[in-house]
Amino acid sequence: MSLAIVLLAAGKGTRMNSKKQKILHEVGGKPMIMHVFAAAETTADLPPVLVVGPDEGGVQALIGRRAEYVAQPEQLGTGHATLMARPLLEKRSSQVIVTYGDMPLLRAETLQKLADTQRESGTAVTLLSVMGSPDSSFGRVARDEAGRVTEIVEVAEAKRRPNTAELLAIRELNAGVYCFDADFLWQNVGKLPLRQARSGPEYYLTDMIELAQAQGLGVTAVIAEDPDECLGAGTRAELAVVEKAFRRRANNYWLARGVTLIDPDAVYIDQDVSIGQDTVIWPGSYIQEGAIIGADCVIGPNAIIRRATVGDGCRIEQAVVEDVTVEGGAAVPRFSVIGNR
């Protein structure tokens, strides 16, 4: 059994009101696409496939040959975007995961769990769901009396049905991450019905659930253990929520490994850093891209450490340290800037 992963990255992200594509906006110090790409690269047996816009070069310049690329010439929905990957992937894998490029908190472990569940269950589709609130804009995961997934009902569709209140009260929501049996996906993704969305006609990947049920092939769902994994960033406001969730995850990671954060809500730690045991970090401090901090240090308040190596037992308070090595036991003068500026 081999696994391929498709990342849908063609959306322009107009709701960001930005000159650059939304997936190139940073979360935790790096473009959000890099987080989900790293999870996909860790999990897949083939290089991840990115579905990009016809004139989009930013993502390809960022990731390079680590991925394969296909263009979606028109914005015709998630089903159409997935269809673009068929010539590249058909007959190359037994499973295909499809998800979005703007889900930077999605973990490799969750992708692997989806693949394992789909393989073990033998169903055509395994989707990731998340427990949420009745006011969510996510599609609802509908189940029958036996608990089997029957369909995904989008909010707009739910409002057109006679049992609107019942559908909108469903707390299990579709997260937009799917693991397909590859043969089922490629044989059926071209059969999706064309639907009228607010932005124009689209082919919805969610309709694959009904196709699977119609063929008696079954659908399973894995409920996310960490709801933060299912956060997407389509607007600046959503980006701020994702950033906060990323910081919370990063800070909890270091707290569990013997680093003291005096006020975790006021400490900002990027992903690719190292911090030694019993180091204390005070509020207003930023530990950024490539910082290596030893044990028993006192950092902050109001310190910035970026691409620097700091030895054991150092004290850095109200200072900027960048692209240098600070020897163990040193005390950096307050209000100083050390390194490249």
Task: Reply yes or no on whether the pLDDT at 341 is more than 70.
Answer: no
CATH of domain 3-230: 3.90.550.10
Question: In percent, how much of the chain has pLDDT > 70?
Answer: 99
Residue 192, helix vs strand vs coil: coil
Report the CATH fold assignment for 258-339. Answer: UDP N-Acetylglucosamine Acyltransferase; domain 1 (2.160.10)
pLDDT digits (tens, 9 = 90+) for 164-177: 889 999 999 999 99
User: What's the pLDDT band for 115 if we cut at 50, 70, 90?
Assistant: very high
Q: What is the structure's pLDDT at 161?
A: 92
Task: Reply yes or no on whether the pLDDT at 199 is more than 80.
Answer: no
User: Which whole number is the average pLDDT over 85-103?
Assistant: 96
User: Which whole number is the average pLDDT over 252-269?
Assistant: 97
- The domain ranges of the chain are 3-230, 258-339
Q: How many CB atoms lie within 10 A of CB 312?
A: 16
Global pTM reads 0.91
pLDDT, the chain, mean: 93
Lowest mean pLDDT among 42-46, 145-149, 185-189: 145-149
Question: 147: which residues sit within 8 A by CB, 6+ positions away?
Answer: none
322 Ramachandran zone, left/alpha/beta (phi>0; psi -120 to 50): beta
User: What's the pLDDT band for 20 if we cut at 50, 70, 90?
Assistant: confident
**For residue 157, what are its two tokens?**
């569709």
Task: Reply yes or no on whether the pLDDT at 57 is more than 80.
Answer: no
Q: What angle do CA 189, 194, 198 make, to 5 degrees?
A: 125
User: Which whole number is the average pLDDT over 190-206?
Assistant: 86
pLDDT digits (tens, 9 = 90+) for 277-287: 999 999 999 99
pLDDT digits (tens, 9 = 90+) for 237-255: 999 999 999 999 999 999 9
CA-nearest of 130, 282, 252, 280 to 293 is: 280
